[in-house]
Amino acid sequence: MTGAEDWLAGLVRALHRENVDGWHCDQVLAEVRQHLGESGEDPFAAFGAPEQYARVVAGELAGDGGPPSVSPPLLAVEGVAKSFRRHRVLDGVDLRVAAGEVAAVVGPNGAGKSTLLRICAGLESPDAGRVTVHGGLGYCPQQPALVDLLRADEHFDLVGAGRGMGRAEARRAGAELAARLDWVPDRRPVGELSGGTRQKLNVVLAALGDPAVLLLDEPYQGFDGESFLDFWEQVWHWRDEGRAVVVVTHRPEQLKRVDAVLDLGRQRVGAGERSR
C-alpha cells in the first residue's frame, strides 16, 4: 500500500492547497481510506490524481453554483446606518444569515465592521435600521472583555449563569469548547494568559450555552497558525450544527468557504458574492 499512502499524502497536500483542512480534511481522508480498504482499488483508478480529487472535494464543500439559502434568517440586519460626527460609516447595510450559514464581514480599517457587530449585539444604537435575532446571541468583541483577576473557569461560571447553566455544566461546556481550540484552561488568572489564549477564552465565552447566532469580531487575533485553523474548523462545526455565524475578518483565505461576504468597503452583499 506504499503507492496508496503516497497518493493519500499527496491528497492531504492538495487539500491544504485548496483550503480544506482540519476536520474536513480528516473526514475526506477517513472516507477515502475506508473506500480503498473495502474495494482494494488503486487510488488513481478510483479517484484520479490527488490534485484533481482535492479540487472536486473543495468545490463540493464550497457548494459552487448552489442556490443561496432560502431558510428564514436567524439574523436579519435591515437598512442599518450609522454616522460618527457627520462621517457616515454604515449606509443602509443589509445582511441575512440563516441557520447553518457563515457570513464574513470584510472591509478596510474604519469601514464599520466592529460597529456593525456592536449594533447587531445591541450594544450600540444605529441612526436607522433594525436587527432581528431568532434565539440566543453570542458576541465575541474585538478586545476580550474579561476580568483579569478571575480564572477562565470563573468566567465560565459567570457567563454560564447568565445562560441558565449550573456551575458544573458551565465549566464542562467551557472546557469542551476550549479543547476544540486546542486549549486546556488552567488555574491562572486570565490577566496572566497570553494574548492568543485570552482571545480563545473570548471565543469560548461567546459560544458558551450554544447561542443560535454568533457574532465574532476578528476573533483569531494572536492565534498561532494551528489555532487559526482550529478556530475555522470550529466555525464550520457551528455551521454544521445549524448556527448562524458572522465573522469579521481581514483574512482572505477562508472567504471562499463562507456562505456570504458582506464587503463594507462597498457596503453591499449580493447573491453573486455568495460562495455557497
- Contacts with another protein, residue ranges (CB under 8 A): 80, 119-126, 129-135, 137-139, 141, 145-147, 149-150, 154, 157-159, 161-164, 166-167, 189, 205, 208-209, 212
| Pairwise CA distance, residues 39 & 4, whole Å | 13
Q: Which is nearer to another protein, 51 or 157 (CB)?
A: 157
Please say which residue, 20 or 120, places its beta carbon nearer to another protein. Answer: 120
- Nearest distance from C-beta of residue 138 to another protein, angstroms: 8
**Minimum distance from CB of 48 to another protein (Å)?**
44
CB of 6 to another protein, least distance (A): 49
Of 176 and 224, CB closest to another protein:
176
What's 64's DSSP letter?
A: T
Select 61 or 170, whichever has its Cβ closest to another protein.
170
Minimum distance from residue 186 beta carbon to another protein (Å)? 15
User: CB-wise, 150 or 255, nearer to another protein?
Assistant: 150
Pairing, β 137-140 against β 213-217: parallel
**CB contact at 8 A, 136 and 125:** no
Rounded Cα distance, 227 and 197, in Å: 10
What backbone torsions phi and psi does residue 80 show, to the nearest 5 degrees? -75, 125
Looking only at the bridges linking them, the beta strands covering 73-84 and 87-98 are: antiparallel
Q: What is the end-to-end Cα distance of the chain in Å, rounded? A: 36
The grid coordinates listed for 267 are 457596503
CB of 246 to another protein, least distance (A): 14
- For residue 113, how many C-alpha atoms fall within 13 Å in the half-sphere facing its CB? 26
Q: How far is the CB of 91 from another protein (least distance, A)?
A: 16
d(CA 158, CA 147): 11
Which is nearer to another protein, 1 or 168 (by Cβ)? 168
Containing H/E element for 206?
helix 195-207
